[in-house]
Structure formats: C-alpha cells, structure tokens
Amino acid sequence: MIKNYLTVAIRNILRHKGYATINIAGLALGIACCIILALFVRNELTYDRYHEGAERIYRVAEHRKVPAGEFRSPQVSPAVALAIKSGQPGVENAVRIDRIFNGLIERQGLSCYEDRMYYADPEIFQVFSIPFVKGNPHSALVEPLTVVISESIAARFYGDEDPVGQTILLKDPFMARLNDEYSGLVEYRITGVVEDAPSNTHFKYDVIVSLAILAGNQQYESWYGGGAYTYVKLREGIDAIAFEENIRRLAHEFEGSELSAWGQERDYYLQPLTGIHFDSKLTGFTMMPGRGEMETPGNYVYLYIYSVIGLLILVIGCMNFINLSTAHSVRRAREVGLRKVVGAGRFQLIGQYLGESVTITAISLIMALLLAELALPLFNEYAGTTLQLEQLLYPESVMAVGGLVLFVGIVAGCYPAFVLASIKPTLTLKGSSSAGTRGSFLLRTMVVGQFGISMFLAICTVTVHQQLEHMRSQGIGFDMEQKLVIPFRFDRHVRSRWEVLRSELVAHHSITGAAASSSVPGRWTRSGFLSYEEGILDPPKELRFISCDPNFLPLYEIEIVAGRPFSDSTDDDRRSFLINEAAVSYLGYSSPEAALGERLWESWLGRQKEIVGVTANFHYAGLQHDVEPLFMEFSDSRFDALTLMIAPGRIDEALDYVEAKWSELFPSTPFEAFFLDNAFDHQYRTERQMGQLMSLLSGLGLTVACLGLLGLVSFTARQRAQEIAIRRVLGAPTSRITLSMSVESAVLIALSGIVACPLAYAAASRWLENFAHTTEIDVWTLGLPVGLATILSLTTVVVCVFRAARANPVEALKYE
Amino acid sequence: MIELRNIAKYYRTGSVNTYVLRRITLDIREGEFISIMGPSGAGKSTLLNIVGMLDDASEGEYSFLGEPVHQLNEKKRASLYKEHMGFIFQSYHLIDELTVYENLETPLLYKKIKGSQRKSMVCDTLDRFQIVGKKDLFPNQLSGGQQQLVGVARALIANPKLLLADEPTGNLHSAQGKEIMDLFKKLNEEGTTIIQATHSETNSAYSRRIIRLHDGWLESDE
Ligand SMILES: Nc1ncnc2c1ncn2[C@@H]1O[C@H](COP(=O)(O)OP(=O)(O)O)[C@@H](O)[C@H]1O
Ligand SMILES: [Mg+2]
C-alpha cells in the first residue's frame, strides 16, 4: 500500500517536474533563509555564554568622577586585579587583558598589523574557555616573552609547521611609554596554539601575549597606570551584589587621600560577562584611542529586524508551498475519486495525501539544510561570523523545525486529503469543475498574505536604500573623492618623519596634495576638554577634536565661515584653535564672528589657545549622527594619518609610487593604505548589509509570491477550464477571458498593497528614527515596490491565463 | 439483492429543486443482467451511481443484500461497496500515474489482500483479459479499447457480486464494444449480477431485462 502511494507520489513529482521543483525549492529557500537568520540571531543572543561558569564571570568597570566630568570605563587600573586577587576570598580567579593597539607581527619577512592582539595574565585560560590545539594552558603565558596564537595566525605564518617552541617578532608601539627595552620588534616564543575565537564572544583574540613583561612594572600596576580589561570569576555561591559592594571603593582604600586631593572619585562595579555584548556601551576615557568596548556593541533593533525578516520569509515560503500544493492537487481530483471508486476509505485517502504532503515537506527541509550548509560559508564571510549548522542542534529547535514541517505538510495536504476526499466521486470524476471552489478562499488569503509580506519587505528595502543614498549624497561638508589615507599606526618613527614622507609624496605628479592629521573623517576616536579659564575647571566642555596641518582644510574642501584657516607660519598656529559651527553655540558664543579671538584652555594639557577661525559643520562621523562640537588644532605630535589627493585616473600609478616610497623610507614597517570613501562607507556597514540582505530577501519573497500567484491562477483557470472552453466555443476572444481573470488577480494585489503600505510605512519610519538625517518616505517609496509587484504579478497572471484560454477547448470538455 | 423504494434525486438550482430521478421503485435479484435505457439526460448514470453508492439519493429507501443503505454511515457503506461491487465508466478512468498492473492491484490493496494472493489474482486477471503483455504500460500508452478493458478488468478483479457499467462501450467502436458485451454475457452466466446503462439497442439485447427511464421517470420494466 505504502509502495502504491509512493509510486504515485514519485511519478507525480516526475511528471510535473517544473511544478515540483518550484514548490520544493520555494519552501526550501524559505526554510534555509530562516535557518541562517536564526543562527545569526542565536549567535547574537549567546554571546559569551559558552565559557564554562559564564554566569560567575564578571568584568570590573569603573565609574570615575573628575572635576572635568564623568566617565564610565570598561578598563580599570591593572592594580585592581591584584587587589582583588589578594584581598577577596570570593574570587576563584581574575585576569587582566590589555589590548595592543596597532600591534605588528612579523616572521621571516612576512609582517602585518594585527588588530586582535592582547596582553593577558596566564589565568586567562582558567577564566575563559579557550580550547588549546597545542601547548599547555596552565603554563602557556607564565613566562615573560611567551605568546599564544590562534590557529589562523599559525596557518598564516607557519603553514604546516608546528609553531610551538618557535619564535615570532611582535611590536607594541605603546610599549615605549612603560619600558623602552621592549619598544621595538621583540622576539617572543610561541607556547601554544588555540582555536580561533568564535563569533559569539566580545573578546576576539588572534594573538595573546604574556603580560609578564608588564607585571611588576611600578608605573603600569599603579592606581594611575594604564587600563586593562579586568575579569573576575567568582567562586560558586558567591553573591555578586555583595562582592560588588566589597570592591566598590577599592581605589579609595588604597589611594584615598591622593584621590581626594585630585578631586577624583572612583567606583568599581561588575558587569556580567554575558551581558557585555548588548548592555555595555562604555566609552572609557576618550582622550586616548582604543578606550571603550573591545568590540562594537550589539544592537537589539537589528536583531528584531533580522528575526522578523527571517520569519516573514519563512511564512512566504510556507504559504507558497501550501498554495501550490493545493492548486496542484486539483489535478488529482480524478485520482481521489477513482480511489474511492475502487474501494478506498476516507481515512485511507486522508492518510495517503497527508503522508505525501508531509514527505514532500520533509524533502524540502532536507534541501533547506543542504542549501543552508552551502550558503553558510558565504554568509560567514559576508557577516564576519562563524556560524555552523550544528549550532541549531538542540531539542527546542529540532522540535520547532519538526513541528513546522508537520504543520506545513498537513496544511498543504488538507485540500486533497479533506476537501477532495469528502466530495462524492461522481463529482470529481467528471473533471474538476465544481470540486475546487471550496479551497479558493484559503488560496486567495494566502496570495494576499504573500504579496502583502513581499511588498512590505520591498518597501522597507527601498527605504533602507534611499536612506543610504541620502547619507551618501547629502552635503557632508567635505570632499572624500580620490583620497588615499596612509595610517601611521602610532609608529613613532613614521610620526617623527611625517614631513619628509609628505614632501616626498607630493613631489610625484600623480599626487596633487597631502595633509597630515590625527584622524580622518569616518574614523573617529578622540575627544578633549576645553574650559574658559585656567584653574576654573567648572564647567569644562567636552568636544571632539582633530589635530591637523594647514593643508587639511583646503584638501578636504572644508569651508571656513569666519576667521581664517591655519596658516603655514606654524609656531603661531600651535597656539590657535579652529572650531566648527556646532561648537559656537555649544561654547556659548552668539555667532561665529563673536567666537573669534576668544581664548580657551585645553584642560588636559593646560595650554591656552585662541580661536582664529570657524569651519562649517562637516559630517566627520557619518550621517547617522548630528555633527558634534569639534575643535581643531595644529599639533604634529598627534598626527596619525596622511591623506593624499590622487590625480584623477592615476590611482594605480600613485599606489605603486606611494608603496615604493614607503618601503624606501620605512623598510621595516608594512605599508597600509585605504581609500577614504570606502572607509567612510564602512560606517554604514550595518545599514548596507541590512539593505543588501533585504534586497535579496525581498527579491526572493516577491519571486516566491509570484509562484504562489501562479498557483492560484492555474488553480482557478483549471476550475474554470470548462467555462473558458465553452466561452471559446461560443466565440469569446481569448483576450476577454484573460481580462476577466486578470481583474480578479489585480483586486488581490491591490488588497495586499492596502495591507502592506501602512505597516511598511510604520516600520520604516520607526527605523529611520535611528538616524539624525533621514530621507523622506514619499509616494515613490511606497509606489515603486507596489507598482513593481503589481506589474510582475499581472504578467504572471496574463501569461498563465492566456495559456489556459488558448488551450484546446475539446480537452476541457472531454469528460462531459 | 437490491430493493429501491421511491428513490428520488434532485439538484437545487436556485430556489427550485430540479428532479433527475422520480419515485423509482425497483427490485433486482441476484444473477440478473439488466440494461437501463433512455435518452441522454434521462437519469441513467444518476441511478447507477446511487445503486453503486457513489452518490446519495435525495429521497427514498435503498437496501442492498438486506442492509438499509440509506441509513448506513459512510464507513459501512464503503465496506459494502468494496466487498460486493465493481464499477465501470464510459470514459475509461484509470489512475494515470500507475501502470496497468498497479491499476489492477489497487482495489486489492484497499481490500487488504495479502501480497502473494494479490499477485496471483492480478496475474489471473491479466491472463483472463489477455493483457499480460501490457502490464507495465501506463494508461496513456494504451488505446481506448485497451483502456476500457483494463477498466473492466479492474472492476472484476475482486470478483464482485454486482457489476455496474455506465455506458461501457460508449467510447469504443463496435468490434470492441461487442467484445465487452460478450464478456459481460459470459460473466453473467458465471453468476455475476450486471447492471449497465446504455442507449444502444444492440447492447441491451445482451441483457435479459430492460428498464427504460425518461425524464427521471421509470417508464417501463421488461
Ligand atoms: N451535479 C449535477 N448538478 C445538476 N444537475 C446534474 C448534475 N449531475 C447531473 N445532472 C443532471 O441530471 C440529469 C441526468 O443526468 P444523467 O444521470 O447523467 O443522465 P444520463 O446518464 O441518462 O445521460 C441531466 O439532466 C443532468 O444535467
Ligand atoms: Mg450518463
């Protein structure tokens, strides 16, 4: 019996290959998209949960009040960890992790900058679960000048060799502040290779360097020393709140009188490890680069968006499957009737058709898993994640997927199983003329649903793209075309010779200008404080700042609204400021002109400077944000980038020249450069990724929805085959029949539009609230996707109906 | 075997009932060979379908082998049907996706007949109808006559007591039609009760009793 069913099912699929492919592929695509998005969402939600005892691990953060303001920092003095370990019995372990900025890694002539390089205490492997591939986690970082590297670094620098026991050269440009002995390239011994960091941890390492060369350094481990991310793992059963209270005034216990003399207050508090990704957005002490979170914090909004999109695509896929299955099963009305005639009971029919439908759904699921497996590497590459299909292997998700397959299978099989099987075989055997009408309400609802969802996605997609376009095209207040940026990476040697580099480079005909600065638009790191008078620190004002040479403003075509730009009579300008328009009112001046000649103190350095000019607001930090108050100064000790203006059409030439010159001037430092417009666009990466993903998904959705419509139309066309045939016999032209059926579809599409537009409008407006400068949602935003969907769907309808109407009427009439 | 009492069938068209069969009272004994005749639209098929339990009567009583069919639930009726009846249509209704062999096998599957016995029954039938050579072909690879033959074979495979045939030769040319009729005659002689609907006098000549329908009325019973 089962064999008989299977035979029919398989032959049916083979006979209608096109239909079966579309049907199975549509559902498989929906499920695959949903699986990938689910993995992505899961990845976000499981941040740092994989560490053993993760719920007992906390990061120590600091709330610092100084006369100039308040900060919250995820980094604390390295003394904190020492004090906690020696004085707090509740601690199982504690570790300091200190990021190495612009660290360099070199072996046998192969060298590169490495962003994921950290110093760490050897306890790191007891606090965090970092699996070793080679080496011993208990001894790995105990000795000074030892290092543990990730598998990918090992592969890059050692290939198939065993790196353990070998040496590698590392450079930390900031080490000079503490220990001149280690300021250049230093030889380290590799004591371990660990697995690459998964994507669901905020601490993404590639190179973990023993902190032993810093441990014991008086300056480093003082309460006023550098900042290290400090994690504690509490013993089981220890109350975190009580523990937090114990360490809150730790600094004051040790340095109380000193701190109050400085007018400082420091409170320590605990951040649960697993909450860092979403809940912690600390900026740290912003004067220095690289303070703040290790990685850009997660955003719940995008998580919701991706969850919703994933579900919507799944819903479209399921609706499509149900629609097509139902439409197709009308063709099998005769089979159902015949089976009854030869003695099939109703439950046997129900069993057969539900079973068949569930089986096909299960096949789609298998296809979906294959698809997801194939697509995951691409997605991982694209989104920078390490998602794997196995990550979905836990009871809830397996049950959810199984339930889904069962549900979709049953709903899709309902029509033949329940509707057709309950109809008298005398009706179904005559053809399908009167058998079908009962299913069509369901089908119509589904088509409206599918198109509604597709249009919704399409409208949101258009909004995202409009917003991106808006951010790109809106006056950003400076020019970013043809600009090549060479970062100095805090290399003291490069920084000290920036003028040589500059003059050598501008000499070439492919380079029309060059300007040095502390940072470039789109790469913002620093801020500083200004106050009106020395000694009176209240109220000091925090502003962003940029340090640049006199070429900077003309090169970037930044407008001056009052006063003058920096001039080449350098000494003078080391004593002067420029501010932007936003800073004018922020600092309390009535107009740009009124600000000129005012003298302000730079709180941190204690230098007084005069405001000599006011620039127009330029969007140095991207259009998500309003332009914040900014001051500019000319101080070459802070320069960290050289911007080159490349002559049009000479990019390749310029690149070759710049790289050659660089290697000539700085033979031991790897060359790096990026184009400003790319880097600037990088700020919109989240938005752009979402835009691209949504384009893909709404395109898919629309395609699948059209397939669903095709299903509905062929369903009705078949139902009405006789009507069409008779009309043809009576002489009605094909076009009339086509028209009457197209009108019906058009009504459905219109209905979808009516449902989709307000919802999409609401969602899109809500999303746009995230931006300071937004595009308008206009008639086009809504009209374009709806129009497109309408054209696409009507084309589908016309083609399908036309074919039905052109069919030989004798075929349809044969059974009467 | 079959007792019909005041059977009527109507369809609702708008607010009025259009009668297709009116007050049909009829007794059929085992072993009879009956032709139901009448012009097109007279209600022959409808009557046959009601007798074959493929359709319900709107009014009246129907008992089959002493069971009151009009009172039985669907399941009971299906099993009565499955046990005792075979149905042949004017247009040879076979399952397109199944081969001749599989089409013949299907009724046996629903009767839950064991594999080996099933196989021998199918082989016997293939033999009897001389279609062994066609057993692996699909319906659309057969001629109309051959398809009808398979339809007949499928109706007969489980040795039904009652064979219902709705214009079984309607789509066949006369030679093929004669073959089927000869077969019916032989079956009837072997004891199968046969009711056929036809408007061909040639076909009705094979039967021993002719019932004429006109506009749903039972006109004569010879
Ligand atoms: N489903 C139906 N709805 C309405 N009328 C029907 C239906 N089926 C059959 N009829 C009508 O019933 C009458 C008898 O049909 P039928 O029994 O097929 O006639 P015959 O087989 O004698 O040609 C015809 O007039 C036909 O139009
Ligand atoms: Mg008829």
ipTM for the complex shown: 0.86
Question: Residue A773 is which amino acid?
Answer: H
User: How many domains does chain B divide into?
Assistant: 1
Q: B21 CA to middle of ligand 1, Å?
A: 9
| CB of A259 closer than 8 Å to CB of A266 | yes
Interval B103-131 mean pLDDT: 89
pLDDT of residue A435: 46
Model pLDDT, residue A626: 80
Tell whether ligand 1 has an atom less than 6 A from the beta carbon of residue B41.
yes
User: What range defines the domain where residue B113 resides?
Assistant: 2-221
Is the CB–ligand 1 distance for residue B38 below 6 Å?
A: yes
Q: What are the structure tokens assigned to A416, written together?
A: 């033949």
H helices of A602-684, in order, are 651-665, 676-682
Chain B contact set for A429 (CB, 8 A) = 89, 93
Give residue B210's pLDDT. 92
Q: What is the DSSP letter of A66?
A: E
The pLDDT value given to residue A432: 47
Helix (H, G, I), strand (E, B) or coil at A807: coil
User: Which pair of tokens denotes residue B205?
Assistant: 């000549």
Report the alpha-carbon distance of residue A507 to residue A510 in Å, rounded. Answer: 9
Q: How far is A805 from chain B (nearest CA, A)?
A: 24
End-to-end CA distance of chain B: 18
Residue A310's pLDDT is 86
Largest CA distance in chain A: 105
Cβ atoms of A284 and A59 within 8 Å: the answer is no
Q: What is the CATH number of the domain that holds B96?
A: 3.40.50.300
Cβ-based contacts of A344 with chain B (< 8 Å): 78, 110
The residue ranges of chain A whose pLDDT is under 50 are 432-436, 536-537, 814-816
A270-291 burial by CB neighbour count: b if 16+ within 10 A, else e? Answer: bbbbbebbbebebebbbbebeb
Is B78 in contact with A426 (Cβ distance < 8 A)? no
**Percent of residues, chain B, with pLDDT higher than 70:** 100
- Digit-coded pLDDT (tens) for A475-499: 778 888 889 999 988 888 888 899 9
Q: Given this model, what pLDDT does residue A433 score?
A: 45
Name every residue whose Cβ is closer than 8 Å to that of residue A382 and which is 6 or more positions away in sequence: A689
Which of these, A672, A689, A643, lies nearest to A481 by C-alpha position? A643
Q: Does the beta carbon of B96 lie under 8 angstroms from any beta carbon of chain A? A: yes
**What DSSP line would sit under A503-562, residue for residue?**
HHHHTSTTEEEEEEES--TT----EEEEESSSS--SS-EEEEEEEB-TTHHHHHTPPEEE
In sequence order, which residues have a C-beta less than 8 Å from that of residue B112 and are 6 or more positions away? none
Q: Is A585 on the interface with B (CB under 8 A)?
A: no
Per-residue model confidence (pLDDT) at position B61: 92
Backbone φ, ψ for residue A68 (5° rounding)? -80, -10
For ligand 1, is residue B52 a contact (CB within 6 Å)? no
Interchain pair A335, B81: CB under 8 A: no
- CA nearest A210: which of A261, A134, A139, A110? A139
Q: What is the pLDDT of residue A80?
A: 93
**pLDDT of A537:** 44
Q: Which residue out of A6, A341, A424 would a mutagenesis test of the B interface target, given it has the greatest number of B Cβ atoms within 10 Å? A: A341
Tokens read off for A703: 């395609």
- For the stretch B42-82, pLDDT in tens is 889 899 989 988 888 899 999 999 889 888 887 888 888 88
Total residues belonging to chain B: 222
Q: Which residue from A400, A397, A373, A403 is spatially nearest to A387, judged by alpha carbons?
A: A373
pLDDT in tens, A251-299: 888 888 888 887 888 999 999 999 999 988 887 766 555 678 888 888 8
- At A311, the amino acid letter reads L
CA of B128 to the centre of ligand 2 (A): 28
Beta bridge partners of A631: A545, A579
> Do the Cβ atoms of A543 and A676 come closer than 8 Å?
no
**Residue B40 Cβ < 6 Å to ligand 1:** yes
- Is the bond into A67 cis (omega within 30 degrees of 0)? no
pLDDT band at B36 (very low <50, low <70, confident <90, very high): very high
Question: Does residue B6 contact residue B21 with C-beta atoms inside 8 Å?
Answer: no
A11/B54 CB distance under 8 A? no
User: What residue type is A591 in one-letter code?
Assistant: S
DSSP structural state of residue A419? I
Is the CB of A335 inside 8 Å of chain B's CB atoms? yes
pLDDT at A570: 59
Distance CA B142, CA B103 (A): 13
Q: For ligand 1, say whether the CB of B22 is within 6 Å of any of its atoms.
A: no
- Residue to probe by mutation, ligand 1, list B7, B13, B45, most atoms within 8 Å of CB: B45
Contact A345 B78 (CB under 8 A): yes
For chains A and B, count residue pairs whose Cβ atoms are closer than 8 Å: 66
Nearest ligand 1 atom to alpha carbon B13: 4
